[in-house]
Amino acid sequence: MKQNFWICLALLATQSSVWAQFSYGVASGDPQSESLVIWTALEQVQKEETVIWEVAKDIDFQHIIASGSYLTSPDLGGTVKAIPGGLEASTTYFYRFWWHEVASAIGRSKTAPHPASTQAIRLGVVSCAHYEAGYFHGYAAMAEEKNIDAVIHLGDYIYEYGRGDAGWKVPGRLHEPSHEIVTLEDYRTRYAQYRKDPDLQAFHAAHPVIAIWDDHEIANNSFSTGAQNHQVEEGDYGQRRLAAMKAYQEWMPIRPEFNTGYRQFRFGSMVDLYMIETRLDGRSEAVKKEADRFLPANEHHMMSPAQHHWLETELARSAAVYRVIGNQVIFSELNLGIIPSDRLERFNLDAWDGYAAERDSLQRSFKQSAPVVILTGDSHCSWAFQGPGYVELCTPSITSINFNEFTTEALARLAGFFLGLSNRNLEYVDTRNHGYMLVDFDAMEARSEWVYVEEIKLAGPWRIHKRRHRKILGWQKNMMRR
């Protein structure tokens, strides 16, 4: 099995009695040029506990450059989150935690470049990891990737379903708790189960993560006041939403001040990254009929007016070479009608296709703010779209089902072929494989790479199945303003 030092550390953390109190591993995220978020958790915390954290430039911790303590408690679910400051830009750091005389696994992270830096940037992109649907080989493979500045997680980090509720599963991987999660303790238990997965631990120990939730962190097809997968007998949706978001803030390496989800990151002068939130901040319920997808944006929208204004303003203000948007659901128009299937409507009304007037408004602003690159999750398949003033690149799922799970390999390939023919804005499609995406940005061009792993239904060994590279075509000629 192909393993580097970080995967070994994560595996040891789940097996060693010495590290039993840090059995959820470590994580880092939300990198800025002078600070990082670092995270861990203790098991079965019954009272307040003090955890020590340390940051060093060397893996042996001979030269500790920052340290401190954090007081966790049952009210925090035993989670620990520190934000070391005063760090150097674009620098790799190692971090660990201590509880009494017990040490955690060692994590590796990296600060963002100085705002004036012109260095090239590499971003990883992942989404949609259903625990019961397969093994997290994509996370393990991402842990092996080199020279990554940050990984963007675009949502569906967990799934709320009970055991077998989604209709697909791998023997031996059963959700905990067994029922659909609704309460704060339910959500905490599900995150705890995910965080004991060795591949997910390796992923978090290797790279800083910039994360945003989609729907399954709450309930399927969620919006600001409800969800398709929330029923009256499950209690008040507002309380469920609060519970889900509290657990998310506890278990993810996200800065506490970013409780709305949408926020900006700067990677030198090369990339300005805008993480948007399209589930809870003002999303109205999806329309039921295709004819209603062009309802006026002031009455049917993905985002609140405040977030919409923030995004348009910041895109126009940016002086970065690339403006990059971290987006949950497919933005570009995608007509699925050529596929004869009772599983698919002609347009996905839960994606931006169902909120077309608001999308058209943003597209008009992109023409003045180009070049814009939209990075998208949710669909479980790989796509590349060319639109007015932007390109959209969509990552496949880590495990969640794509066409291969409900049809034959030949029909899945044929579906991709016909989708490419019937959607003129579609430049690349893969409906079959699971994995992740890498996107490189430099002064000359942006390049995307889809990385696919072999069979996710088997425990191991994991292998890279294939890589698909794509230069973003026409970038210099059609999209650069300078």
pLDDT digits 0-9 by tens, 16-59: 433 458 999 999 999 999 999 999 999 999 999 999 999 999 99
Q: Is 187 helix (H, G, I), strand (E, B) or coil?
A: helix
Cβ atoms of 157 and 211 within 8 Å: the answer is yes
pLDDT averaged over every residue in the chain = 91
Confidence bin at 406 (pLDDT 50/70/90)? confident
**Would you state the pLDDT for residue 345?**
78
- Pairing, β 226-227 against β 222-223: antiparallel
Amino acid at 416: G
Does the structure show a pLDDT above 90 at 165? no
Does the structure show a pLDDT above 90 at 326? yes
Handedness of CA 112, 116, 122, 127 (dihedral sign): positive
Cα 238 to Cα 224: distance, rounded to the nearest angstrom: 9
Amino acid at 305: P
Higher pLDDT, 412 or 205: 205
Domain ranges of the chain: 1-111, 115-479
Considering only 18-27, 316-325, 377-386, which range has the smallest mean pLDDT? 18-27
**Which of 1.20.1250.20, 2.60.40.380, 3.50.50.60, 3.40.50.720 would CATH assign to domain 1-111?**
2.60.40.380
Does the structure show a pLDDT above 60 at 473? no
Higher pLDDT, 455 or 283: 283
Q: How far is CA 276 from CA 96, 194, 273, in A?
A: 31, 24, 10
Cα 219 to Cα 247: distance, rounded to the nearest angstrom: 14
pLDDT digits (tens, 9 = 90+) for 112-164: 999 999 999 999 999 999 999 999 999 999 999 999 999 999 999 999 999 98
Does the structure show a pLDDT above 50 at 12? no
**Would you state the pLDDT for residue 159?**
98
Q: 320: which 2 tokens? A: 């970065």
Quickly list DSSP for 154-182. Answer: -S-SS----TTTTS---TT---SSSSPP-
**Would you state the pLDDT for residue 21?**
86
Does the structure show a pLDDT above 90 at 460? no
Residue of 223, 224, 243, 247 lying closest to 235 (CA atoms): 243
The fold for domain 115-479 equals: Purple Acid Phosphatase; chain A, domain 2 (3.60.21)
Give the count of beta carbons closer than 10 Å to the beta carbon of residue 43: 12
Rounded mean pLDDT, 317-332: 96
Considering only 288-302, 327-341, 351-365, 387-401, which range has the smallest mean pLDDT? 327-341
User: What's the full length of the chain, in residues?
Assistant: 482
Cα 84 to Cα 89: distance, rounded to the nearest angstrom: 13
**Would you state the pLDDT for residue 215?**
97
